[in-house]
Structure 1
């Protein structure tokens, strides 16, 4: 079964597929999408005709429609030209064309979905393996597709039908080459070899208790292989949206752009798939279970190579890091760094609070050497350290942590006795009496 979905208005062709090699036919679907922008930044006739317009042209048809019957024949001819033996036996077509006018540009979104039945994709089958044709992937046509008098394959046709005045401005100009590109084109999906697609297989179907999880009976006892394409990778290359533009010079200068993203594909098959080429045709050999000893669930050796390559690069980076760190460690200076502690002089900055003395202090350089390198950037806002005292004063004993001159009583007054010697400079009466008696 082939299922295709889309969430963007600029995708080109997309296929999300599942094929059952045990069946003679499988349903399929494709989506083709493109967006056309008509830009008129300088106003003009196209601005007058389109900037306030909005309309939708849509419809559906099945294989009883003469236009769909012609499309089936055209698609089968394209498949045959690509070397495939598969055929389309039934088809339904849904189309939607939406125009939205704006002040600077008008966009036209084109969407076509085809759903049908694919047959004759099994090449040969035996008790071990089924060979499946994969050369039908570029389902599309370069012929006009007319459904109920509406041509849907060429963007310029809808413009001619719905906006004849705008068409008259663009007809015969370089915009024709853009507006006349067929919408139903999936050639890139076939041009990208299946060996470049990501490969995964799901072994859930061969688990003993797989049925307890509501597994589809069609894959019971089988693994499921899947191939996906469309993302940028080393194998597929960089996938970017395709943009074509042309300048139209009429009453004003206009720009016409066509935007569509890279094609995407997701093909799944019941069984373990091994790719091969038969007479220039890409095929897959499907077996119910993977070969003995096959444990990888990822594309060939490519992810393994990438994983080990990244691990090797990480190892090289780690070695380089350790070498660099080792050299830096050897070059690093050992021992005391910064200012030598022997060159620092400490002094007390604390004051008494209540009945105890706190022990706080600061340090400064004993000399002025390297002053510019060591001075504080906040020096101008700080008090200068107290001047050094003489040796006789350093030996003096004074228990006064504060003076009455600054509105606080000294420690001697707080304790009711003074332990100061004659060198005490405290102005408190108790201290002065003690100092006088010792002089």
Structure 2
């Protein structure tokens, strides 16, 4: 199983991904149906070290845009090229009408220049109904790869080959890339939706809405008279085991001139939304993917989306949730009934009341407190830290029994020098003097 998953991931990663976005709504009951295809690409020209290319692009910013309908020769050429490609893919459907909207925006920055390309095709498809026997309509779905590698010029602007816009608008910049590998990167055509056809519809996510016909009628240009039909939808573009891992596709090349320049082309993943009026059952006819469309799904058909997830499972899950809720309330009720009834906690007979706030300065209320008559429970829970403990007081300093002299004679005696009083011939000591000099003795005796 792990090997299979790894293989699917590798295949999905290596699958080419193009920047095409399809939105089509097919009505098998009409001759034409609308579609919209958007092509996007961004090119980065990087010059991290500056150089002549930076000097050439510095400060530039411009936009070229326009819209043209089927009366424009360039749009007619594009329509013919797309129809030729659809026919080569084996489909009988053809583009009947076409309007082209394009925009190219260049903006230079300090380290790179970006060029954004956008082309939008809006039109109608015709000849997509293969057969209609009144019970089921076979619809051709093999037209999805609307691609061409030809140059398409509309009002003087080439919209399909990215490097051509540089050739026409920035000829000096074009000379840096002409004849290099970067020219191959910039030469990949923009109008390319091959991957939308290469991804089998069986890998797309399928959904049909049996109740949304009244809501969606306006989007199909129909009214409420189509009651009884359903709407089928197929979508692609998500990363999954069915479709593989969808990532941006990046092409890169370096150009060495006065400096090394890097050209990078980035295209987002392809996405598609395809809808039909009626229930569409996929099939294959001579290698072309088709849908057998009926007004309603087959009898007892319960799968509304890809993955064979029946509606009955949804109801079953809801039923299981309801049973679980009932079981929860039943168990809770039983638990309440089994709980012990009556007085819980301390027996009131073991309590005795006493008044509070009876001390001087307080006041009494009609609220009292209660305590146990004995200390049985207290002795069981008494804290071990409440035991008697004796502590010795800190030792007191012992006063000295010998009174020290307050005069300088004691300091002279400690140093072994002659008494200052004897040297000066005068003594100013008090009665505490213990000096042995005669003059000090007389002074001490006179002060005592």
- Please indicate, yes or no, whether the TM-score normalized by the shorter chain is above 0.5: yes
CA contact (8 A) 1:205 1:220 kept: no
CA contact (8 A) 1:205 1:219 kept: no
CA contact (8 A) 1:14 1:263 kept: yes
Q: What is the aligned partner in structure 1 of residue 192 from structure 2?
A: 185
Per the TM alignment, residue 28 of structure 1 is displaced from its structure 2 partner at its CA by 1.6
* 2:88 aligned with 1:86: no
Give the aligned CA root-mean-square deviation in angstroms.
3.2
In the aligned structure 2, how far is the partner of 1:207 from the partner of 1:247?
56
Q: Which consecutive residues of structure 1, in runs of 5 or more, have no partner in the other structure?
A: 1-9, 312-352, 366-383, 390-439
Q: TM-score, normalised by structure 2?
A: 0.65
- How many residue pairs match? The answer is 315
Q: Which consecutive residues of structure 2, in runs of 5 or more, have no partner in the other structure?
A: 1-16, 318-357, 363-370, 392-448
**Closer/same/farther in 2, CA of residues 354 and 145 from structure 1, 3 Å limit:** farther
Q: What is the aligned partner in structure 1 of residue 415 from structure 2?
A: none
In the aligned structure 2, how far is the partner of 1:385 from the partner of 1:230?
78
Q: Secondary structure at the match of 1:117?
A: strand
Q: What is the aligned partner in structure 1 of residue 242 from structure 2?
A: 235
Q: What is the aligned partner in structure 1 of residue 108 from structure 2?
A: 101
Q: Secondary structure at the match of 1:204?
A: coil
**Closer/same/farther in 2, CA of residues 218 and 166 from structure 1, 3 Å limit:** farther
Q: What is the aligned partner in structure 2 of residue 387 from structure 1?
A: 389
CA contact (8 A) 2:163 2:186 kept: yes
Per the TM alignment, residue 47 of structure 1 is displaced from its structure 2 partner at its CA by 1.0
Q: What is the aligned partner in structure 2 of residue 265 from structure 1?
A: 272
2:288 aligned to which of 281, 285, 288: 281
Q: Secondary structure at the match of 1:114?
A: strand
In the aligned structure 2, how far is the partner of 1:97 from the partner of 1:207?
40
Moved segments of 4+, more than 4 Å: 205-208, 353-356, 358-362
Q: What is the aligned partner in structure 1 of residue 210 from structure 2?
A: 203
* 2:145 aligned with 1:143: no
Alignment of 1:46-125 (within 5 A): 46-125=53-132
Q: Secondary structure at the match of 2:241?
A: coil
In the aligned structure 2, how far is the partner of 1:164 from the partner of 1:77?
33
Alignment of 1:14-413 (within 5 A): 14-204=21-211, 216-217=223-224, 219-301=226-308, 303=309, 363-364=383-384, 386-387=388-389
Per the TM alignment, residue 193 of structure 1 is displaced from its structure 2 partner at its CA by 0.3
Q: TM-score, normalised by structure 1?
A: 0.66
Q: Secondary structure at the match of 1:84?
A: coil
Moved more, 180-189 or 286-295: 286-295
- Bigger Rg, which one: 2
Alignment deviations for residues 388-409 of structure 1 (CA, whole Å, 9 cap, x no partner): 89xxxxxxxxxxxxxxxxxxxx
